Structures are given as C-alpha cells and as structure tokens.
Structure 1
Amino acid sequence: MSLVSHATSERRGENHWLLRFELHLPYAYETLWHALTTPDGLRGWLAAADVLERHLGGAVTLRWLNTGTVASGHVSAWDVERVAEYTVSEHGRIRFHLEAVGTDSTVIRFVNERGGSDEDRLDCLAGWHEHFELLEAALAGRPADWSAWTDARWARLRDAYASFTRVPKAS
C-alpha cells in the first residue's frame, strides 16, 4: 500500500494554485533530507539537478527525466534538515518541510504554489503524486528507471484527481 495519499488544492486567484501533500514516511529525516536536497537523491525520484547550490539564494536547474522539462530558479528557503524550497520556472514555488516523528519516521509537508489553468492543476496533482510514489520506492532502494517510464500511472492519477477535485471559479 502506498504511503502517498491524495493531495488538496486551492485556488489563490485567477490561474494561481496552492497544491499540498502530506506524507508520513518510515524514514529518519536525514534520509529524506538527502533525497530532497542532493543531486543523487533527487535523480532517484524527481529530476536531474543539473545545478543545485545548496544554500539560500543558490541557483537551481532541475531537468525532469520523464518529460524533458527544464526548470531554473533559486533556493528560496533553506533550513538544514528541516526546510528546502526551490522557486523555479515552470513549477513555481516547491517547498518541502520535514518534521521528525521519533527517530525513524518523518512527515513531509509539501506545498507547490504555481500558476496555470485548472487543467494544469490536475496535471500537476497527478505528477507530484506519482513522483512521491517514486520517492517512496527510491527510499526503499528502488530508484526510478527513467528509461522505462511511461505516463500510464500519471494518466490514471489525473483521471482520479479530475473526478473528485472540481474547483469553483474564483469570485
């Protein structure tokens, strides 16, 4: 059973969204910090970090190996072993907030603040959900094999999000 539950999203003005996930993972926060903030760690579940200057204001360039999307920007928050936030083109603000639960479990509170249409919102909910499943697998010793990736799982997740996350127009 996956430890990734469905996300929530809220409209923050016309064509602006806040997407949220909360994951409870049976790993120490040091393990998760490595997966979220190092080129090796990120490659196993999210993207190649072509540039990653690991400090506040540092440059970031992420290249998604499943889609080819390249997003450049900067580290917009950095609190070692607690908060990593990247603000990049294409994806907006991507924030990982870690909270240790005992010595061998961690909660990740994830926020993606981004622009885009409702269709973009659904695409991103499905995309982040799948990437968090890949994070779970990478932490268990099975990093993503990007050469074998297909969009089949993403498509099923997108259909699921579309069926239960209708959002009214902004007033």
Structure 2
Amino acid sequence: MPRLHVITGAPGAGKSTLLRHLGEYPFGSADFDELPELDGRLLGVDIISPSAGPVWPAYNRLWVKIATMMLRAGRPVVILCPLTPSEWADAAGDVVDPPRVSWARLDCGDADRRARLAARGWDPDRIEDAIKDAEELRCLVNQEFTTTGRSPADVAAAVADWIDRQ
C-alpha cells in the first residue's frame, strides 16, 4: 500500500490554499476543512468551534478511515490537518490496518499567521492560541514547508518532491 503523507499545520499556515495547488500532482489530497459545511457543521453536528472539542476524536477517526480508503487507489495520499502525530495515532488506534504515515508541517511566520487570522475575523485570544499551536507543532514535526515568502505553487512543488523522495 502506498504511504500516507500527513501535513499538519496550525490555523493560518496555508493548508486550504496549498490544497488548491496539489491537484496538479499525481497523488490524492484532502483537507480536514473540506467536510464541514460553511456553518462548521457535519451532519448537523458542530465540529469546528472550540466547544466542539468532545466530538473531535470521532472526526479524527473519520479522517483516518477516509485516508485509508483513498490509499486503495494505489497512489500516495496527502492529508492536510491540524493534528499532532499523537492525536493521529490515537485516532488510528481503532482503525483496522491503519496506513503508515510520513509527517511534515506547513508553517509561516507568526506575523503572517496573525495577519491571515485577523483577516478571517479571529479575535486576538484565538489568534494567540493558534500561535501557541504552531509553537507546539514546531517541536513535534521536523519536516517543514514554509508559506512565508513563497507562492502556493512553489510550496506544492516542494511537497510533491518530498512525496517522490519517500
């Protein structure tokens, strides 16, 4: 079975923007942000607000299953998400024959993250939480793709090269 590539990143790193550029490459790709409706609900359940924390483990398990199904096509798959490796491992614990994972991190400078999230209407406390999430991910995942000062197409090309080398 081909390898699953998980690219984690705190809010504002550019995951959703990168996704639009990964379609040019011969691998499957998906983003955790694709399933919820615009109001943050999936099947009528809020899954994106901070108060939805209790349902996040089930949502994470769903994505492990989706990734496993996508790998059946016989080509590499990239999943973009905000999870840590341990959160992914917890989600994969109940999945039969979960895929092997290569990890990378999408990141940007803190000033870029603040500006991007402020443009989304995030309040300062929530932005600072995202900055802390980015700091945590920097300690957990070494392979980095930065979006600061780079075009999404350049980042997508670097990701494709990483996948080819795996």
| TM-score relative to the length of structure 2 | 0.26
* Bigger share in strand: 1
Higher RCO (CA 8 Å, separation ≥ 6 residues):
2
| TM-score relative to the length of structure 1 | 0.26
